Structure 1
Amino acid sequence: MKKNKSVKRSSARLAAVQALYEVEISDSNVDDVLVEFQQTRWDTPQEEGDEDRGSSPLAKPDKQLFADLLRGVAKRRDELEEILSGSLSQEWSTNRLEDIVRIILMSGIYELYIRQDVPARVVITQYVDVAHAFFEGPEPGFVNGVLDRVAKTLRADELSKA
């Protein structure tokens, strides 16, 4: 049962990054994208014969976590970008980051900042995994380094106990 919950939460994180990217590139309304994801992307179960398709549908996500991430990151965008900006080296700015990398980082920062119920190491690992879903190069390592730096600031007490 716990593994199923973990898969649903991982799927929610990946879907939230995809949805936030859609909001950003299309300038769509967050709630419209939320509804669209819930109604059309997950409620289409794989049917017999779909094995021939190149891919299978996304695992059913934790819809509550998905909605929290999507709305929370959108609502706190300026605050999250400020934290992100402060965690980058001087030669980097948030404008220099690829959109999807910035969205992955802001989602991870949101969880580190707001979702104290999720251990910092879990948050970091999950968003490095999300980065691996999009990139094969150095980006997952970059995500790991930035989120680790943010966690050491936002969750210093938790990480010092570990």
Structure 2
Amino acid sequence: MADSNNTPDKKPAKGQEKGKDRKANRRGAARLAAVQALYQMDMAGAGINDIFAEFESHWLGNEVEGDKYLPAEAAFFRDVVAGVVRDQAKLDPLIDEALSNG
């Protein structure tokens, strides 16, 4: 939609609430990026350091496939990914069980 000057509305970043770059939004963006990073690690066999470098330089807070994402809290992103990798042997059976129960 455009305003009275025919200027198109700017599309807000995913997760952005009324123009506020709140900490909760940055953490939410970090969680989403962590899920994407973990999936990429699993599918491509990428290492954690490669994933950190790629996501921090190309994904976090950038436009991805036409969607502009809020800047993610990079330290929180690293903590989530590292924690999942560290505890993967414990987490995988729990996830498998939850998925098998429908």
- Which TM-score bucket, shorter chain as reference? 0.5 to 0.7
Question: How many positions carry a matched residue from both structures?
Answer: 82
TM-score normalised over the length of structure 1:
0.44
Call closer, same or farther: CA 1:85–1:41 in 2, change over 3 Å: closer
1: CA distance between counterparts of 2:33 and 2:86?
Answer: 17
Question: Please, which of 89, 93, 96 is the counterpart of residue 78 of structure 1?
Answer: 89
Highest Rg: 1 or 2?
2
TM-score normalised over the length of structure 2:
0.67
Unpaired segments ≥5 residues, structure 1: 47-53, 94-141, 143-162
1:30-53 CA-partner distances (Å, limit 9, x unpaired): 111111110122365x7xxxxxxx
| Higher percent of residues as helix | 1
Question: Please, which of 28, 35, 43 is the counterpart of residue 53 of structure 2?
Answer: 35
Question: Please, which of 30, 34, 38 is the counterpart of residue 12 of structure 1?
Answer: 30
The 3-state SS of whatever aligns with 2:76 is helix
2: CA distance between counterparts of 1:21 and 1:73?
Answer: 11
Call closer, same or farther: CA 1:72–1:59 in 2, change over 3 Å: same
2: CA distance between counterparts of 1:29 and 1:62?
Answer: 20
Call closer, same or farther: CA 1:81–1:27 in 2, change over 3 Å: same
Unpaired segments ≥5 residues, structure 2: 1-19
- The answer to whether the Cα contact below 8 Å between 1:9 and 1:61 also exists between their aligned partners in 2 is yes
Q: Is 1:62 equivalent to 2:80 in the alignment?
A: no
Structure 1 segments (4+ residues) deviating >6 Å: none
What displacement does 1:85 show? 4.0
